[in-house]
Amino acid sequence: MAQWEEYHTHVLPHCVGKWLGVTETNYSMAIITLINSQIDREAFYRRPMSQVLAPLGDGVLQQLPKIVIELEFRHFLMVLWALMSLVLMTLSLMRVMVHPNIVGNGNKSSADIRKARLNAISRLATPFALSVAALIVPPTAVRTRYLSVTLGLAFSILTKKMIVFSMAKMKFAAVQFDAVPILLAALWIRYDDRLTKEGADFVLGVLCFWYTFRMLRWVNVTINQICTKLDINCLSLGKRKKD
């Protein structure tokens, strides 16, 4: 969403309120990943909230709704993560919808503004489809790591494309065909009862290699095109031209 906002406004929202945003989220995820590698995740995250909040005393527990007390710690954290993400995405959407690049400076008709807003939202169609694909895969059908890595690689390609197209002032298509393989795989896993869990893992494993190859290929082609256009070298110095 941050790169989508930059594409339309040419301003990257690195933070919200000077304390929470893209930068803080990335660093927090990195720190949490390092911490998770050093603890017993099953024992730590499966604790009920009543146990997590017990050191605060019964007075605090009595003030909280029963649904919160009965939640497992992992579910509570996921709810917080979803709420935070929803707030950040909503703010990003609102900023784009009222930005002068979309609404103009009083010189656009309501029809033109509506068209510009729909055009901007349409570029979220493919990321939204990827999110839906992740949700339609039954949790018991695959190993979560296989799905998350494949989905992350697909999102990474889309994000890199949007960054480069924004810098180059090129059109970013609403429909990105890089999302098609994982969408088809998600539908296959969801509706084919004959596909075993091992088979589903194998399909997603193959897609991991495919998206890795696809990313490296796209990056290579893009770098070559940029170097050719600007007449520069990448990671090396060109021969000095004689006067």
Per-residue pLDDT, 240: 64
Q: Please write the tens of the pLDDT for every residue from 13-27.
A: 777 767 777 777 788
For the chain, the domains span: 1-122, 124-243
Residues of the chain with pLDDT under 50: none
Per-residue pLDDT, 243: 54
SS3 48: strand
SS3 20: strand
CB 49 within 8 A of CB 70: yes
Per-residue pLDDT, 236: 79
Q: Please write the tens of the pLDDT for every residue from 27-43.
A: 888 999 899 989 998 88
| C-alpha 137, offset from chain centre | 17
In whole angstroms, what is the distance from residue 50 CA to residue 163 CA? 44
In whole angstroms, what is the distance from residue 98 CA to residue 17 CA? 18
Per-residue pLDDT, 87: 87
In whole angstroms, what is the distance from residue 99 CA to residue 105 CA? 9
Per-residue pLDDT, 54: 87
Cβ atoms within 10 Å of 64's Cβ, excluding its own:
14
Q: What's the pTM value of the predicted model, to 2 decimals? A: 0.82
Per-residue pLDDT, 168: 87
Per-residue pLDDT, 216: 94
In whole angstroms, what is the distance from residue 35 CA to residue 32 CA? 5
